[in-house]
Amino acid sequence: MISSFGGPWGSSYIDNDIIEIFDNIFGKDKMKQFREKIPKRYWELLDNIEKSKQRFFLNKKTTGTYRIETPYEFDQFMKDNIPSNLEELVSNFECLGESGLVFSSLYYYLPK
C-alpha cells in the first residue's frame, strides 16, 4: 500500500483557486484585512468552501450552481470596506470567460 501524498490533482488546489477568485473579486488587501481582523470567520469561510466542495462531488451534477455559504461577518466586512455595490461587483466578475456570479445574502454562486 502507498500512502496518499497529494499532488497537483489534490482538492487543495480547488481551495486555492476559490480563494484566488475571492481575492480577484474583493481584492487581496481586503481579503487579507478580513483574515487578520476576524480570523475565526476566515477559517469558517475556508470550512464552508470545503463543505461546498464535498456537496459538489456528492451530487455529481454537471450543470447548476456551486454555492458557498459566507459568514455574516464576511458579508458585513466587505459591505463596510468596499465602496461599490457588492451585488454589482460580484455579478460583473468574469472567470474563465464566464460572468454572472450571483451575490445573495450569505451566499456567492459560482458558475460551473
In a domain, 5, yes or no: no
pLDDT at 11: 73
- Among residues 31, 35, 23, 40, the alpha carbon closest in space to that of 81 is found at 31
Which structural domain range is residue 82 located in?
A: 13-111
In a domain, 1, yes or no: no
CA distances from 72 to 41, 64, 88, 110 (A): 9, 24, 19, 18
- 71 in Cβ contact with 41 (< 8 Å): yes
pLDDT top residue among 16 and 31: 31
In a domain, 49, yes or no: yes
In a domain, 69, yes or no: yes
Count of domains forming the chain: 1
Per-residue pLDDT of 19-77, as tens digits, reads 999 999 999 999 999 999 999 999 999 999 888 888 777 777 666 667 788 899 998 99
Per-residue pLDDT of 96-111, as tens digits, reads 776 666 655 545 555 5
pLDDT at 62: 65
pLDDT at 8: 55
In a domain, 24, yes or no: yes
Collapsing DSSP to helix, strand or coil, 87 comes out as helix
Sign (positive/negative) of CA torsion 53, 49, 98, 9? negative
Enter the DSSP assignment of 11.
Answer: T
CA distances from 68 to 83, 86, 93 (A): 23, 16, 16
